[in-house]
Structure 1
Amino acid sequence: MSAADTTTAKMPPPRQSPPPGGGSGSPQGPRRKRTGGAATPWALLAPCLLILVLVLGYPMIRLVTLSFQKFGQAQLWGFQDPESVGFDNFSAILGDSQFWQVVVRTIIFAAGSVIFTMVVGMLIALLQQRVSGWVKTLINIALVASWGMPIIVATTVFKWLFDSDYGIFNALLSKLPGVDMVGHNWFASGPQGLAVIMLLVVWGAVPFVVITLSAGLTQVPKEMEEAARLDGAGAWGVFRFVTLPILKPIIVMLTTLSVIWDMGVFPQVFVMRNGHPEDEFQLLTTYSYDRAFQVNDYAQGSAIALITVILLLGVVAVYMRQMLKIGEVE
């Protein structure tokens, strides 16, 4: 045997690299165990859920309980015990023509507020994409200032703007040729007064819509817009076929949230009418309050509030469905 053969025979065999999994036995090795598992999200949400249960749980249970009872001032002060009346409160409410007028008025008011909010918000958001930096900054400052103004303060300002004797709005309209609005009372009729309140609601809701849509517009690819222009599309065509489809999830969510907020409008109407809204100004929220604290029928007020909650739950279901869709896409 030669020296070369001896050297070759004594060389150890080459070491094999471990399998990709890093373990032995299985070709892939033992997999890492996920820490926490499905319990981690619930543990993180537990404090928030606990606060929601404490803050909203008892009022909701009490609301449902009162809606099925006879509960007035005598029961409130303890002179009589509450009586279970089943669905009598709901039968009385659903059989009242005034209630259905309030429901229709609330739906029209919420729909008008949402449409104007979304249209004005979209126009301002698109405008911000075409102005210089300092103009955009000024617009954002004005939006944040109006958004941060307390509702009571904003309502007081609007009462002064539309005052029949000293309102600036009437004075400005009267400067137009052939227009005389001096001394005009906007709250003499329900439609005009609700239009003013709707303007107040839109004014307070537009900043959130503008800021959200502006953030969404930054995600629209400029290449797609340029390609659409090269294909002959105008400004409306680019918006309809490029911008709008990309912003659709955001628009749906904003619309759903606006419906929820505008269906629950209360302080604007309550303060604008000095705490006593007339029948022509009643919405579901103020109507429930009046039945409970003006008529002192807390059971019927609770029943109206519960019906309002059920209506809003349908809108919330749509909102949650859209949120789940967006989560699946991401």
Structure 2
Amino acid sequence: MSAADTTTPTEVPPPMSVPPPSRPAPSSRKRTFSATPWLLLAPCLLILVLVLGYPLVRLVGLSFQKFGQSQLWGFQPAEWVGFDNFTGVLGDSEFWAVVVRTVVFAAGCVIFTMVAGMLIALLLQRVSGWVKTLVNIALVASWGMPIIVATTVFKWLFDADYGILNALLSKLPGVEMIGHNWFASGPQGLAVIMLLVVWGAVPFVVITLSAGLTQVPAELEEAARLDGASAWGVFRYVTVPVLKPIIVMLTTLSVIWDMGVFPQVFVMRNGHPEEEFQLLTTYSYDRAFVVNDYAQGSAIALLTVLLLLGVVAVYMRQMLKIGEVE
């Protein structure tokens, strides 16, 4: 046996498992308070407090008092009556009729505004540049028209004796509208006022939705069409999800604005809205400045504010859900 045969083979150690590199711990940044944003917002907040804060505090105070003409002129002191004003308002059947009328009116305005605004915004995506420019100019012009001027124009359009709408409709075969009074009944008159509100609100919706439509990815729409989706399918499953935050915002703002409609009804009815034309805003005004019951008018206004705060709460909840999904 040779010396080479007597040597013991060297043992090769097994490969050592290398531990994976450890991830560096995320650096925890301390959140420091910065006063700069609050300083920049301070002028706006101060204006809001002065313009909205004091009237709101005064409104709450009046709603818990007995405050009429005698208290206004200082003949009698204001008396705290607790919830008596709210009990009287909530127990009045006329108040609930006004609430239902206001909700139906606002819902109709919001639905027609959003549908018309969406249709016009989609149409503007498919027209030539100069047509789009002309439509945008007309929208901005109508949006910038003062409410009093727009209401006066609509009063002339729907006038029973000299209205151009009655004259045009009477030219249709079998239609006789000369002398027709659109405000003889509440539903017809509120429909005219609703048309006025929608006409003034549509431009803002169209411009906002048109800006949102430019952010819809064209490749997603093309992919949906290649998968066999119809035009309605592309709109429902591609366009609407992208525009959902904008639609929620516009719908909420429209509800708030349409629930607070006042000058259109007030001017259209010459400062004295009849019972079947009363909305929450005009009803509160009549109670305060026609009946001279400022306390009950304040209670109605405060209930309206609480109702609108409920709408704002729903809006904030929807926006938070959208933020969580994204």
TM-score by length of 2: 0.88
CA RMSD, 1 decimal: 1.9
Change (3 A) 1:249 1:33: closer
- Residue of structure 2 equivalent to 1:160: 156
User: Are 2:226 and 1:241 aligned?
Assistant: no
- Residue of structure 1 equivalent to 2:117: 121
How far apart are the structure 1 equivalents of 2:103 and 2:29? 54
- Counterparts of 1:268-283 in structure 2 under 5 Å? 268-283=264-279
- Equivalent AA in structure 2 for residue 100 of structure 1: W
Deviation at 1:147, TM superposition (A): 0.1
Q: In the alignment, which of 284, 301, 304 is matched to residue 288 of structure 1? A: 284
Cα deviations by residue, 1:171-192 (Å, 9 ceiling, x for unpaired): 1111222111111000000000
- Residue of structure 2 equivalent to 1:210: 206
- Equivalent AA in structure 2 for residue 317 of structure 1: A
Uncovered stretches (5+) of structure 1, i.e. residues with no partner: 1-26
User: Are 2:232 and 1:252 aligned?
Assistant: no
Q: In the alignment, which of 148, 151, 155 is matched to residue 147 of structure 2? A: 151
- Residue of structure 2 equivalent to 1:182: 178
Deviation at 1:327, TM superposition (A): 6.1
- Equivalent AA in structure 1 for residue 225 of structure 2: R
How far apart are the structure 2 equivalents of 1:32 and 1:70? 56
- Counterparts of 1:59-208 in structure 2 under 5 Å? 59-208=55-204
Deviation at 1:49, TM superposition (A): 1.1
Change (3 A) 1:234 1:277: same
Change (3 A) 1:328 1:48: farther
Deviation at 1:37, TM superposition (A): 3.4
User: Are 2:41 and 1:45 aligned?
Assistant: yes
Q: In the alignment, which of 299, 303, 320 is matched to residue 303 of structure 1? A: 299
User: Are 2:307 and 1:314 aligned?
Assistant: no
How far apart are the structure 2 equivalents of 1:244 and 1:47? 37
- Equivalent AA in structure 1 for residue 222 of structure 2: E
Deviation at 1:324, TM superposition (A): 4.7
Paired residue secondary structure (2:201): helix
How far apart are the structure 2 equivalents of 1:45 and 1:319? 23
How far apart are the structure 2 equivalents of 1:205 and 1:187? 22
How far apart are the structure 2 equivalents of 1:175 and 1:220? 45
How far apart are the structure 2 equivalents of 1:91 and 1:280? 23
How far apart are the structure 2 equivalents of 1:203 and 1:77? 42
Deviation at 1:41, TM superposition (A): 2.5
- Tell me if structure 2 keeps the 8 A contact 1:164–1:185: yes
Deviation at 1:163, TM superposition (A): 0.3
Paired residue secondary structure (1:78): coil
Paired residue secondary structure (1:182): coil
| Alignment coverage as a number of residue pairs | 302
- Equivalent AA in structure 2 for residue 161 of structure 1: L
Deviation at 1:120, TM superposition (A): 0.1
Cα deviations by residue, 1:71-111 (Å, 9 ceiling, x for unpaired): 11100000000011111111111111100000000000000
How far apart are the structure 2 equivalents of 1:206 and 1:292? 32
- Equivalent AA in structure 1 for residue 169 of structure 2: L
Paired residue secondary structure (2:232): helix
Q: In the alignment, which of 220, 226, 229 is matched to residue 224 of structure 1? A: 220
Change (3 A) 1:77 1:243: same
Deviation at 1:149, TM superposition (A): 0.1
Paired residue secondary structure (1:54): helix
Paired residue secondary structure (2:285): helix
Identity %: 87
Cα deviations by residue, 1:21-71 (Å, 9 ceiling, x for unpaired): xxxxxx99x99988x734333222222111111111111111011001111
Deviation at 1:263, TM superposition (A): 0.2
- Tell me if structure 2 keeps the 8 A contact 1:253–1:322: no
Deviation at 1:145, TM superposition (A): 0.3
- Equivalent AA in structure 2 for residue 254 of structure 1: L
How far apart are the structure 2 equivalents of 1:200 and 1:249? 27
Cα deviations by residue, 1:257-278 (Å, 9 ceiling, x for unpaired): 0000000000000000000000
Change (3 A) 1:177 1:291: same
Paired residue secondary structure (1:74): helix
How far apart are the structure 2 equivalents of 1:70 and 1:153? 38
How far apart are the structure 1 equivalents of 2:226 and 2:174? 48
Cα deviations by residue, 1:264-293 (Å, 9 ceiling, x for unpaired): 000000000000000000000000000000
